[in-house]
Structure 1
Amino acid sequence: MTGGGWRRTLPLMPASIPSASRENKKKIPYAWELVGWLWLAYFMNQADRQLYSVVQKQVQEALGLTDIQTGLVNTVLIAAMAVMMPIAGFLGDRLSRRRIILWSLLAWSVATMLTGFTGGLVSLIVIRSLATAVGEAFFVPAATALIGQYHVKTRGQALAFYQTAQYFGAVSCGAAGGWIAGQYGWKHSFWLFGGVGVVLVALMWRRLKDAPKTAAAIACSEPIGDVLRALFRTPTALVLTLALGCSTFVNMGCLAWAPTYLQLEPFNLTPARAGFFSMFYYQLFSFAGVLLGGRVSDKIVGRRPAFRVELSGVSLLLCVPTLYLMGATSTLWVVYAMLGAFGFFRGLYDSNIYASLFDVTAPRYHSSATGLMVGFSFAVGSLAPLALGAIKQSYALHTGISLLGVVYIIGSLALFIAARGFFPSDFLRNQQTVPTSPKL
């Protein structure tokens, strides 16, 4: 695996990205300032997306929805994102990533505010599911590709830190959203979170910058068919996409119903406590896992290029027993412990999602590849809230949570096969196509 024939070689930073001498004069290099702004935007992305799950019991009672209708709202949102994400990815390789990021943040924030005015299932699906999904779908491919464009040697750490925003966003949403819903009603939660997103757009408008156009970063002008053929000829990218689909199915199913699970017998937590504790332990340990995974992978991948893929496979496999015990126990502290363990291993996996993909795809395809991968994962994940709603209605919610581990086993095995069978040749081919910049 570590033979000299495919030892990792990292490309030089593009010449037009600010030089080290100029960056050293600043307290914070712009490459990291960029990560900070995108972290805040991703924080709001995840907070707004998780908000419905935190207050869905109150929404269900207020609008008179069945369990299946309640799950359908999240399912339509995720399915709409699955359709839009590949389109967003292709546009992210052709248009200004800065503009895509800012307009998408504005769009989903306004849609979140409008969710507070809905009065029935149809309006809830149109505004919460469709409008919010279209806004959110354009953010991830453009933001992820832009970070990868500014970071090369620190790519794993930069993308791992960026990933932590989803944990903080979900925890803050669980605490604040649940408290606001309990004190003032669920509508006020959507109005507040949407308004904060609009303010963030104004703050980011002057600070966010596109990376300068270089041979490595110039917008891709190849026909979509050529882009698809290039990606489908990279087996490792396909396996990474399958694994992310498995991970997203489990995560969306678990997170969509975890607050409701803790409000049922034998736990009987209040909406505010259920919203907070269903996220707190999970996201806290996810934060630790993702930072550890990003730092360790950046250090080891130079000696063992397949390490990111191998670590991802191990991480998914270790999640399986935590999910089983989470659904099998009637003891609250065991649920919290399993949420923490699940979060840690999921964080290790998350830290390498996009860095692994960028290891085997050319820079000009990064946004397109991200859009296709995340779009597929949302298409698979969109079935999870509805599936768990149906299991809850026919059997019991704890049974559905325990069964989620089977999906992780599939993703883990696929990653182990890819690490040994496909990654070496895909990695070598990509390294031969990565352009090098002129000496600075």
Structure 2
Amino acid sequence: MEEIDHEGERLLQQKEEDDQGENHHGAVRISTQSSKVEGCQAYIAVSILCLVNLLNYVDRYTVAANLEEIQKSFKITNDNSAAGLIQTVFIIGYMITSPIFGFLGDRYSRKVIIAFGITAWSGLTLAGSFVPDDKFWLFILIRGAVGMGEASYVTIAGTIIGDLFVGNQRSRMLMVFYFAIPVGSGLGYIAGKGVATAFDDWRFALRFTPVFGIICVILIILILREPNRGQAETGNQAMSNTNYVTDLRALFKNPSYIFSSLGLTCQCWVVGALALWAVKTLEFAYTLQGLDNSSVSYVFGIVTCISGFVGVALGTSFAQYLRKFNPRADPLVCAFGMLSGAPFLFLGILVADQNVTVAWIFILFSETLLFLNWALIPDILLYILIPTRRATGNAVQMLMSHLLGDALSPWIVGFVSDRIRENMSAPSSIHDQYYSLVYALYIGGFITVLGGGAFLATSLYIEAAKKRVEDIVKSKNDASSALTSDNFVN
């Protein structure tokens, strides 16, 4: 009887689309329905995704850990603008392909897409380690292509977790998943610098992550089971999805989505700038005080790991507790993290040339507060968007946050630093190189405050958006008519 009901629903949906002339523009049925993924299988899936996410960020920040050596190798030591392009082009490649993978992730096998992406980024990372010293432009292009490969994974991995869990359990799984961002970033600095030092060549730092990448591909192909979209919320019933134009229109009518994306953009701006330039700035600070700067990458990596682990755990736990009293808890915690992290960031940069120990303490507090958000922002996205629109929503959010965030900030900081240094008395001196970077990094403090304001704005709309999705998912009516409505904002 259930099969007859589903078939009748499909025929009714097709008839409605024909009557409205929307055969190519209305709701489209997802044709595949797998068995339910639950219990140990669900936790195994999360474990594999966490491992890949960790590797993703280790790979990404290996370059930042060895920036000075890379600049020397490609003979761009005094050109911070060119050095900033390494991260900027990577993020550009990452962001321009995100919408494509978001579209595919809402409609086709996410497992296959992820396996393809990891294989591509592993191969390209390895290829980048063999670029000759006189081919900096080729190294830049390869890093951009690596970003494209990573986008295939990051865009859709979180949506799989969203399909496996709901409520506080989903929040906890996302917390574990997003531990990989700060921890992986920190390990990227530590392992990347360690491997480069061990082999006396920064290129070897790009040759160890591809090995683990292939291992991850094997685990995904042989072990990972992909759930149906919305499995945890719909009882494993396949849902209807809409065409891409309808998806985009719905996203941009959703204020919670827009403001939370703007908040993430500000966070990406600050983190992107710090990721590339903080180590080099602190190395200059050590040198000005007559200290050995060889350990800066390791210390920064350790500080990032600790602050990330503590920040993500505190942010998620604090938000879960506050939800009992305030349904707007998630964006409010995000706003608190951004607004309170700004002064610590400013102070950490300010005192680095006078007392590096105090600077490290301020940086630890600043990063901890900024990392309160990492698991909360994707959790917000999952409950303000319907299951069949989440990969697209994540992709568009990534495009926005990277286009205006960490794709721009490394280059902007490098460019502003170069322009400031040109007007200083001794542009090639360590003193002027340090202070030009410090002044450029101050921009991040103001961007952080803007991000806090965006999350406060998110809190004004979050309740209505969440309730709308819950009503749609629980509805016994044909979802296609609601999904194609111009008034649907989720």
TM (normalized to structure 1)?
A: 0.89
Q: Distance in 1 between matches of 2:315 and 2:350?
A: 29
Aligned positions of 1:306-385 closer than 5 A? 306-329=328-351, 330=353, 331-380=355-404, 381-385=406-410
Q: Residue 300 of structure 1: CA displacement? A: 3.5
Q: Distance in 2 between matches of 1:68 and 1:62?
A: 16
Partner of 2:246: 226
Q: Residue 50 of structure 1: CA displacement? A: 0.7
Q: Identity across aligned pairs (percent)?
A: 23
Q: Distance in 1 between matches of 2:65 and 2:210?
A: 15
SS of the aligned residue for 2:207 comes to helix
Deviations 1:391-417 (A, max 9, x none): 222331111223201001111112112
Residue in structure 2 matching 1:407, options 415, 426, 447: 447
Q: Distance in 2 between matches of 1:217 and 1:326?
A: 51
Partner of 1:163: 178
Partner of 2:142: 127
Partner of 1:78: 91
Partner of 2:414: 389
Structural RMSD (CA):
2.1
Q: Residue 221 of structure 1: CA displacement? A: 4.2
Partner of 1:191: 207
Aligned positions of 1:91-110 closer than 5 A? 91-110=104-123
Partner of 1:55: 66
Q: Given the superposition, is the C-alpha separation of residues 222 and 212 from structure 1 closer, same or farther in structure 2, using an over 3 Å criterion? A: closer
Q: Distance in 2 between matches of 1:71 and 1:219?
A: 44
Q: Residue 267 of structure 1: CA displacement? A: 4.4
Indicate whether 1:429 and 2:468 are aligned. Answer: yes
Indicate whether 1:417 and 2:457 are aligned. Answer: yes
SS of the aligned residue for 1:304 comes to coil
Q: Residue 90 of structure 1: CA displacement? A: 1.4
Q: Distance in 2 between matches of 1:270 and 1:52?
A: 21
After the TM superposition, which of the residue ranges 192-201 and 250-259 deviates more from structure 2?
Answer: 192-201
Q: Distance in 1 between matches of 2:246 and 2:83?
A: 40
Q: Distance in 1 between matches of 2:123 and 2:243?
A: 33
SS of the aligned residue for 1:95 comes to coil
Q: Distance in 2 between matches of 1:146 and 1:234?
A: 22
Q: Residue 270 of structure 1: CA displacement? A: 6.0
Q: Given the superposition, is the C-alpha separation of residues 221 and 361 from structure 1 closer, same or farther in structure 2, using an over 3 Å criterion? A: closer
Q: Residue 297 of structure 1: CA displacement? A: 2.5
Q: Given the superposition, is the C-alpha separation of residues 266 and 212 from structure 1 closer, same or farther in structure 2, using an over 3 Å criterion? A: closer
Indicate whether 1:205 and 2:221 are aligned. Answer: yes
SS of the aligned residue for 1:81 comes to helix
Task: Please tell me whether Structure 1 or Structure 2 has the larger radius of gyration of its CA atoms.
Answer: 2
Deviations 1:343-362 (A, max 9, x none): 21122111201111122111
Given that 1:243 and 1:412 are in contact with CA atoms closer than 8 Å, whether structure 2 keeps it comes out as yes
Partner of 1:143: 157
Partner of 1:275: 297
Given that 1:17 and 1:150 are in contact with CA atoms closer than 8 Å, whether structure 2 keeps it comes out as no
Letter in 2 for 1:135: G
Indicate whether 1:174 and 2:189 are aligned. Answer: yes
Q: Given the superposition, is the C-alpha separation of residues 402 and 200 from structure 1 closer, same or farther in structure 2, using an over 3 Å criterion? A: same
Q: Given the superposition, is the C-alpha separation of residues 115 and 18 from structure 1 closer, same or farther in structure 2, using an over 3 Å criterion? A: closer
Letter in 1 for 2:251: L
Q: Distance in 2 between matches of 1:273 and 1:436?
A: 58
Letter in 1 for 2:316: G
Q: Distance in 2 between matches of 1:151 and 1:189?
A: 36
Q: Residue 428 of structure 1: CA displacement? A: 2.1
SS of the aligned residue for 2:465 comes to helix
Q: Residue 271 of structure 1: CA displacement? A: 6.8
Size of the alignment, in residue pairs?
A: 414
Q: Residue 193 of structure 1: CA displacement? A: 1.9
Deviations 1:235-294 (A, max 9, x none): 100001111111001000111111211221344776752221122113312211112222
Show structure 2 runs of 5+ residues with no match: 1-32, 421-435, 477-490
Letter in 2 for 1:121: F
Q: Residue 217 of structure 1: CA displacement? A: 6.9
Given that 1:167 and 1:287 are in contact with CA atoms closer than 8 Å, whether structure 2 keeps it comes out as yes
Letter in 2 for 1:275: S
Given that 1:93 and 1:220 are in contact with CA atoms closer than 8 Å, whether structure 2 keeps it comes out as no
Q: Residue 168 of structure 1: CA displacement? A: 2.0
Q: Given the superposition, is the C-alpha separation of residues 233 and 52 from structure 1 closer, same or farther in structure 2, using an over 3 Å criterion? A: same
Letter in 2 for 1:432: D
Q: Given the superposition, is the C-alpha separation of residues 326 and 181 from structure 1 closer, same or farther in structure 2, using an over 3 Å criterion? A: same
Letter in 1 for 2:442: S
Given that 1:283 and 1:340 are in contact with CA atoms closer than 8 Å, whether structure 2 keeps it comes out as no
Show structure 1 runs of 5+ residues with no match: 1-13, 24-28
